């Protein structure tokens, strides 16, 4: 019996690789296993190698694994590109159709299974994926009945016959493979899971659901990888709540439309990836100076320009903090798990209204698209706070005086009135303005308004700005990361502790304003600080140096080849230091 | 009931004496009063440039955004509160150069807002460079030898983009202009009103006298039918776009808000933000 398994299915894009992984994963999730998925894909729809790697465990997992137990291959390329991940007792299940060849330098076993042939005999070669799921089940000694529910859900609309045929395909694959495993040495049976119901979702689903829970009722967005799922989810869900999504003509329209809707009082979101964020920058400055709430998601991918559009990277950090010309108060948050993506998104709407400034929710491709098991999300922790939004009647102003929308206050936050309110008329402009919003170039006013705007975020209230796993008062190593690197760091940490090292971990959730007070003591009490990030220049490490100093301790561990870190890469880097 | 005076505020416009934009402002204020609006139910969203300042000169909610983006901001405002009357406004550079992409898409999207362009065929606030509305051969600081580019024809462009309300006016025709803005506000869908609004400082070619000589009123063309798109296009081409009046109106096509699925009949800005627990549980269950 094993307590975790790593399974990968690969082939040409457009061959149903994704749905094969999906059916396998949903069934296992329902048995109570924890799953963590990683999709390797290219910026094209048909053709090109793609694979879906799924880790299955009886305990929580938040990263892909170093090695692989089972590789399901629909072409030779899948074997050639992935076999090195297989450990010595690993298994390759390959479609006999392409006469698979086993590379010389692997001890893993290769079985040529007639996926296509069996499927064709049963009616259509399209079902080869189901045959592969059946064959996998034989290797895992898994009861194929666990797939019945999922197959029914996916194919039910096409009729009972299609459902039955697909189940037949799974069964045929299972039986064929069962007969191959005569002595059973390759069988990898998973320990029984707890059977609890948990969610299985990607980070983008959680962001979108968080927006719905927060009362977001409008979205303006332009499609882009890896952000589009947020928009697609809201297009499905907002109409039932009276809301709407507009697919705009470009990213600038998306951002400015979101500003218009927020100005008029609706919680509105826009989401994009790096190229879109670059285009939104001027508008983000407009949100800053007009103090219009704005929630923007940046799902980071490989940059610059079109870069590596379907690959993992975390290189937008500096751009998100410092992007837009001039200076504005801004909040940049970086959830590190799917759960945090949900709760942080909901909270982002509160912060945007309380501080009347742009709030950027930073994600990365692996967090946004990696499908994983998540404990059921709850509304209990979701609050709705609208800050100084004026809802009471406003007394009449004398001589058509404007409402002091930009009143200089002690905390910097001014009362916010939305259009339609009697006696609330004021002006809004991206030009520097006085307390009523009228343009003003006076030096004294400039200072008063700049100071007022920045005062807003001086004492920002943010629940858990740093996720901390601090077991040691004095540590050999402090790991620091943000977004999806949390899982690999956690795994490396366990291995290093087993080796006798004292390791602490800080995952930064509030990137800006930087939570110096939280991070500095951890840096002080560590011999070395290893900052793990998917970029080439060490952007978080540099932000750390700016805010907490101790440059001599800070070591950059960088990966920018488009792939997420593997646990052993983080482990090895740290071992080298001692 | 509010009168046009209620739409005046105490801000003195910083336009040059004689600028056409003064009349556009007056027409907008009169139209707002004539259709029965109260100042708080009007939102004027403007772009950048001399004319973009208009949102600060009208006693209503006003948003002066960034260059070329008045339309997406205005559409966002309208989507958030369908009960507001939303007027977007700006110059020809704002709408037909940097913001042209938004103009075309706002036209085809057909959200129920009114767009008033103050067209002076020049860049004024940056002190006299060519505009996409400047005629070929037009000499400016940026085209000292005369522009070699073709001028944009916004009315023809609007017709081909699927506009449901296309009108053009001249700033001195206060009565006609006011009536067109009123009709635009009442129109169910996107209304585009291009207003020739002469720049007395930098445009010495397209002057008040020039327009008086060259413009043709559609009301003077016998039997002109603004519901006929083909006739509208032919008339524009025949007169090189230099016509004033209601060029085209399609009263049959529904607005964006009427066509989209599920969109609330009451303003979204008044919606209850709290999500029903059962509904949330259903959403969570979909991921299990």
The structural domains of chain A, with segments of one domain joined by +, span 4-180, 200-374, 388-463, 466-576
Helix axes A17-30, A148-155, angle to 10 degrees: 130
Nearest residue in chain A measured CA to CA from B108:
A249
Q: What H or E segment, with its residue span, contains residue B170? A: strand B165-170
Residue A399 pLDDT greater than 70, yes or no: no
Q: What was the pLDDT predicted at A46?
A: 79
Query: Using one digit for the tens of pLDDT, what is the confidence trace for A154-183?
Result: 999 999 999 999 999 999 999 999 999 887
Q: What was the pLDDT predicted at A398?
A: 73
Domain-located, residue B275: no
B13 touches chain A (CB under 8 A): no
Strands of A389-458 (E only): list them: 427-429
Query: Using one digit for the tens of pLDDT, what is the confidence trace for A23-66?
Result: 999 999 999 999 999 988 887 777 889 999 999 999 999 999 99
Query: Using one digit for the tens of pLDDT, what is the confidence trace for A504-517?
Result: 999 999 999 999 99
A243 and B83 within 8 Å at the Cβ level: the answer is no
Q: Categorize the per-residue pLDDT at A563 as very low, low, confident or very high, splitting at 50, 70 and 90.
A: very high
Average pLDDT over residues A414-423: 97
B186 sits in the region (left: phi over 0; alpha: psi -120 to 50; else beta) called alpha
- Asked whether the ipTM of the predicted complex exceeds the cut of 0.95, the reply is yes
B271 and A399 within 8 Å at the Cβ level: the answer is no
What percentage of chain B exceeds 70 in pLDDT? 100
A419 and B64 within 8 Å at the Cβ level: the answer is no
A390 sits in the region (left: phi over 0; alpha: psi -120 to 50; else beta) called beta
- The pLDDT mean for chain A works out to 96
Instruction: Write phi, then psi, for A182 (nearest 5 degrees).
Output: -60, -45
Q: Categorize the per-residue pLDDT at A184 as very low, low, confident or very high, splitting at 50, 70 and 90.
A: confident
Task: List chain A residues with CB under 8 Å of B61.
Answer: 419-420, 424-426
B45, B105, B264 ranked by CB distance to A260: nearest: B45
Domain count, chain B: 1
In this structure, is the dihedral angle defined by the CA atoms of residues A71, A76, A79 and A81, taken in order, positive or negative? negative
Nearest residue in chain A measured CA to CA from B86:
A419
- Per the structure block, which two tokens stand in for B193? 């009103």
Name the minimum distance, in Å, from the CA of B155 to any CA of chain A: 21
> DSSP secondary structure string, B89-150?
EEEHHIIIIITHHHHHHHHHHT-S-EEEEEE-SSBTTTTSB--TTSPTT---SS-TT---SP
> Most B CBs within 10 Å: which of A380, A419, A430, A431, as the mutation test of the B interface?
A419
Query: Using one digit for the tens of pLDDT, what is the confidence trace for A207-220?
Result: 999 999 999 999 99
Interface of A with B in 7-46 (CB under 8 A): 29-30
Domain-located, residue B216: yes
Q: Could you give the CA distance from residue B172 to residue A95 in angstroms, rounded to a whole number?
A: 79
Q: How many CB pairs under 8 A join A and B?
A: 204
Domain-located, residue B223: yes
Query: Using one digit for the tens of pLDDT, what is the confidence trace for B243-285?
Result: 999 999 999 999 999 999 999 999 999 999 999 999 999 999 9
Name the minimum distance, in Å, from the CA of A422 to any CA of chain B: 6
Q: What was the pLDDT predicted at A47?
A: 81
A419 and B11 within 8 Å at the Cβ level: the answer is no
B83: containing domain: 4-260
CATH number, position B230: 3.40.50.970
A384 touches chain B (CB under 8 A): yes
Q: What was the pLDDT predicted at B150?
A: 95
B237 touches chain A (CB under 8 A): no
B73 touches chain A (CB under 8 A): yes
- DSSP strand pairing (A68-73 vs A4-12): parallel
Q: Could you give the CA distance from residue B94 to residue B46 in angstroms, rounded to a whole number?
A: 9
Q: What was the pLDDT predicted at B127?
A: 93
B58 touches chain A (CB under 8 A): no
**What is the CATH code for A466-576?**
3.40.50.920
Task: List chain B residues with CB under 8 Å of A197.
Answer: 288
Domain-located, residue B281: no
A246 and B75 within 8 Å at the Cβ level: the answer is yes
* Domain A200-374 = CATH 3.40.50.970: yes
Q: Are A338 and A486 in contact (CB under 8 A)?
A: no
Q: Which fold has domain A4-180?
A: Pyruvate-ferredoxin Oxidoreductase; domain 3 (3.40.920)
User: pTM of whole model > 0.80?
Assistant: yes
């Amino acid at each position: 019996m094993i307590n975790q398994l790593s399974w990968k299915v690969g082939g040409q894009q457009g061959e149903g690789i994704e749905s094969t992984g999906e059916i396998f994963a949903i069934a296992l999730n329902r048995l109570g296993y924890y799953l963590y998925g990683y999709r390797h894909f290219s910026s094209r729809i048909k053709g090109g190698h793609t694979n879906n790697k799924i880790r299955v465990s009886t305990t929580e997992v938040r990263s892909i694994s170093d090695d692989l137990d089972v590789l399901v291959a629909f072409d030779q390329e899948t074997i050639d590109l992935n076999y090195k991940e297989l450990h010595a007792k690993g298994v390759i299940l390959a479609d006999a159709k392409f006469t698979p060849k086993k590379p010389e330098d692997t001890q893993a076993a290769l079985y040529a299974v007639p996926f296509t042939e069996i499927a064709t005999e049963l009616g259509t070669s399209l079902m080869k994926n189901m045959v592969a799921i059946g064959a996998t089940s034989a290797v895992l000694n898994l009861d194929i009945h666990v797939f019945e529910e999922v197959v029914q859900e996916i194919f039910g609309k096409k009729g009972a016959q299609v459902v039955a045929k697909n189940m037949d395909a799974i069964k045929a694959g299972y039986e064929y493979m069962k007969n191959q495993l005569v002595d059973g040495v390759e069988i990898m049976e998973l320990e029984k899971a707890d059977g609890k119901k948990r969610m299985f979702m990607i980070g983008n689903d959680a962001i979108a659901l968080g927006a719905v829970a927060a009362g977001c009722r409008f979205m303006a967005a332009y499609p882009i990888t890896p952000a589009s799922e947020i928009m697609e989810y809201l297009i499905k869900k907002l109409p039932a709540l009276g809301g709407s999504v507009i697919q705009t003509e470009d990213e600038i329209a998306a951002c400015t439309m979101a500003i218009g809707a927020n100005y008029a009082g609706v919680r509105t979101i826009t989401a994009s990836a790096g190229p879109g964020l670059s285009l939104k920058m001027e508008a983000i400055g407009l949100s800053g100076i007009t103090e219009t709430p704005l929630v923007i998601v940046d799902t980071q991918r490989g940059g610059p320009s079109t870069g590596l559009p379907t690959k993992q990277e975390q290189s937008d950090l500096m751009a998100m903090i410092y992007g837009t010309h001039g200076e504005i108060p801004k909040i940049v948050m970086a959830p590190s798990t799917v759960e945090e993506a949900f709760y942080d998104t909901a909270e982002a709407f509160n912060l945007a209204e309380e501080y009347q400034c742009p709030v950027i929710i930073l994600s990365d491709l692996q967090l946004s698209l990696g499908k994983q098991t998540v404990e059921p999300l709850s509304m209990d922790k979701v609050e709705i706070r609208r800050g100084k939004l004026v809802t009471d009647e406003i007394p009449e102003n004398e001589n058509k005086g404007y409402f002091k929308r930009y009143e200089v206050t002690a905390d910097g936050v001014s009362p916010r009135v939305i259009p339609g309110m009697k006696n609330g008329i004021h002006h809004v402009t991206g030009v520097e303005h006085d307390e009523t919003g009228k343009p003003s170039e006076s030096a004294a006013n400039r200072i008063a308004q700049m100071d007022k705007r920045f005062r807003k975020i001086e004492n920002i209230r943010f629940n858990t700005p740093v996720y901390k796993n601090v077991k040691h008062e004095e540590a050999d190593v402090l790991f620091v990361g943000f977004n999806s690197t949390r899982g690999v760091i956690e795994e490396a940490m366990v291995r290093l502790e087993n080796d006798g090292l004292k390791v602490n971990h800080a995952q930064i959730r509030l990137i800006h304003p930087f939570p110096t007070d939280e991070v500095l003591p951890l840096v002080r009490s560590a011999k070395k600080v290893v900052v793990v990030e998917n970029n080439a220049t060490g952007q978080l490490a540099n932000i750390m140096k700016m805010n907490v100093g101790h440059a001599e301790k800070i070591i950059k561990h960088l990966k920018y080849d488009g792939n997420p870190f593997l646990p052993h890469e983080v482990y090895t880097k740290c071992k080298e230091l001692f | 009931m509010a009168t046009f005076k209620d739409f005046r505020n105490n801000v003195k416009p910083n336009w040059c004496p004689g600028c056409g934009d003064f009349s556009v402002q007056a027409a907008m204020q009169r139209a707002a009063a004539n259709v029965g609006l109260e100042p708080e139910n009007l939102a004027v969203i403007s772009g950048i440039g001399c004319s973009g300042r208009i949102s600060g000169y009208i006693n209503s909610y006003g948003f002066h955004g960034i260059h070329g983006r008045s339309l997406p901001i205005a559409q966002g405002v309208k989507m958030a509160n369908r009960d507001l009357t939303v007027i977007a406004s700006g110059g020809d550079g704002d709408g037909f150069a940097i913001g042209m992409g938004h103009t075309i898409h706002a036209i085809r999207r057909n959200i129920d807002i009114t767009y008033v362009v103050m067209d002076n065929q020049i860049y004024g606030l940056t002190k006299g460079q060519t505009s996409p509305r400047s005629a070929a051969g037009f000499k400016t600081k940026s085209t000292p030898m005369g522009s070699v580019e073709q001028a944009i024809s916004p009315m023809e462009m609007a017709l081909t983009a699927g506009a449901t309300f296309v009108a053009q006016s001249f700033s001195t025709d206060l009565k006609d202009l006011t009536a067109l803005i009123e009709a635009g506000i009442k129109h169910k869908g996107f209304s585009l009103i291009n207003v020739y609004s002469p720049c007395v400082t930098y445009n010495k070619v397209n002057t008040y006298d020039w327009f008086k000589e060259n413009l043709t009123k559609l009301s003077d063309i016998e039997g002109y039918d603004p519901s006929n798109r083909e006739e509208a296009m032919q008339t524009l081409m025949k007169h090189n776009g230099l016509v004033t009046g209601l060029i085209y109106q399609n009263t049959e096509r529904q607005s964006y808000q009427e066509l989209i699925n599920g969109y609330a009949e009451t303003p979204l800005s008044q919606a209850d933000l709290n999500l029903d627990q059962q509904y949330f549980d259903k959403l969570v269950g979909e991921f299990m």
